[in-house]
Structure 1
């Protein structure tokens, strides 16, 4: 499939998606959201892909936010549909993808850009990154999951502070509060992210898929039952059989 606003590269068992709208600091418009969604559908079915990375083109911006011009004149119904469709088409799809998605946050991650990063399973950031949710400065709130995912990552108090103040925080502060996993020099960011992806790709695909399902239920009343069920289901799968056999035979597993 060909795309206009994103670039797709394949390295080993990793697919790298680069949002490529540098003229607008990679802002998310409807077309870009749909292209990302379609790319994720392809990745979910690609047996050669074990991990996906999402990043932005250039050195200034991961994603500077949503494209405000597209919805500036919306009413209530249209705005609700925009938020609901965005969740269904992209943000929830990332969170529940059957393969890990790592955000390589290079530069600004604001509004919908930070929400995109938070939907990913892991976040690495460059040392020039600045992150924030400025929606209240527009008389809005985050509409792509920001009010729900941020408290889970940093706690309710810090989430309230960031959302209510609309402040941007530097990458190192984001690491301190658990918003990003690690911070690297800009020129090292993608290399370090690929290294993590390579390490993940060596492990059991089915084990990771089931781990994603279980972790995503960790804050619900069904979390433990989800884990128990997934644990049991894996015992009938080839990955578990290969992994245990390799351990007993003192060799590396071949997943």
Structure 2
């Protein structure tokens, strides 16, 4: 089905692996199209509760875009490419099912943007993050200027954007760009451990937590109003009834996502 990514499902967790290790998993048109299809599967398959995105091989998560595809593009074609990347990455960000980026090496340019579109990031000790597009006479186009600023603050973000410098994993942790740094051979296990815990929670409530948190950065919405609305919506779910009953009966809840 796929030529540039691989997917598998274990314990209701979808693992999406960008699979171009000979090209350091660089993003090209095929990767973006297949990633879009895999994210649709995440949304639509009720047997899947959460996802991990990672890269094949020991060197790179995604080391950037496939620059060869940029040559010869005109103004409007560049905008079309950015719109496509932003559309797919926003779909990841807006997923009601949590998505962790397991960053196993270089996450540069479009790779850093992909990692930042996920709900949070876990990095291996050898990971490196950066937006070095200025070295190509470009800026990030898949949301990088916006999400980097949201995640680490304006001053640090602008410094990284205009110098093209890279962050090592320890600095990324200090800046709040990643939640954890672990040895590379423990990376996927750490992501699975977190998501297996999340998968025991009420799916509709998990999705609303993500949606409400995203509303902080959506200037078309008032986050507090969204929170009130979604808090109220939870009272109309079977999961809320099950969760409160289980708490009062001192037993584990059995959530059905209804």
Matched, 1:87 2:114: no
Is structure 2 residue 143 aligned with structure 1 residue 136?
Answer: no
SS at match of 2:226: helix
Choose which of 118, 121, 132 in structure 1 pairs with 2:119.
Answer: 121
Q: Name the residue aligned to 2:77.
A: 78
Give CA-to-partner distance per residue, 1:17-63, whole Å, 9 cap, x none: 11100110000001111101101101111111111000000100000
State the TM-score, normalized to the length of structure 1. Answer: 0.98
* Count of residue pairs brought into register by the alignment: 253
**What residue is the counterpart of 1:34 in the other structure?**
33
Report what 2:167 is aligned to. Answer: 169
CA distance in 2, matches of 1:197, 1:209: 13
Looking at structure 1, the residues matched to 129 and 189 of structure 2 have their Cα atoms a distance apart, in angstroms, of 21
Partner deviation per Cα, 1:100-149 (whole Å, 9 max, x = no partner): 00000000000000000000001000000011000000010000000000
- The equivalent of 2:95 in structure 1 is 97
1:73 and 1:180 mapped to 2: Cα distance?
A: 35
Q: Superposition pairs for residues 212-251 of structure 1, below 5 Å?
A: 212-219=210-217, 220=219, 221-251=221-251
> Within 2, Cα distance between the matches of 1:200 and 1:171?
24
Output the CA distance in 2 between the equivalents of 1:215 and 1:72: 38
Any gaps of 5 or more consecutive residues in structure 2?
A: none
Mapped to 2, the partners of 1:49 and 1:85 lie a distance apart of: 25
Q: Shift of the alpha carbon at 1:86?
A: 1.4
SS of residue paired to 1:215: helix
TM-score by length of 2: 0.97
**Per-residue deviation at 1:238?**
1.1
Aligned-pair distance for 1:196? 0.7
Counterparts of 1:36-51 in structure 2, within 5 Å, are: 36-51=35-50
- The list of structure 1 runs, each at least 4 consecutive aligned residues, that deviate by more than 6 angstroms after superposition, is none
Q: Unpaired segments of 5 or more residues in structure 1?
A: none
What is the alpha-carbon root mean square deviation over aligned residues? 0.8
Q: Structure 1 residue 83: deviation in Å?
A: 0.2
Per the alignment, residue 252 of structure 1 pairs with: 252
Q: Secondary structure at the match of 2:46?
A: coil
Distance 2:228 2:29 in 1: 39
Shift of 1:157: 0.3
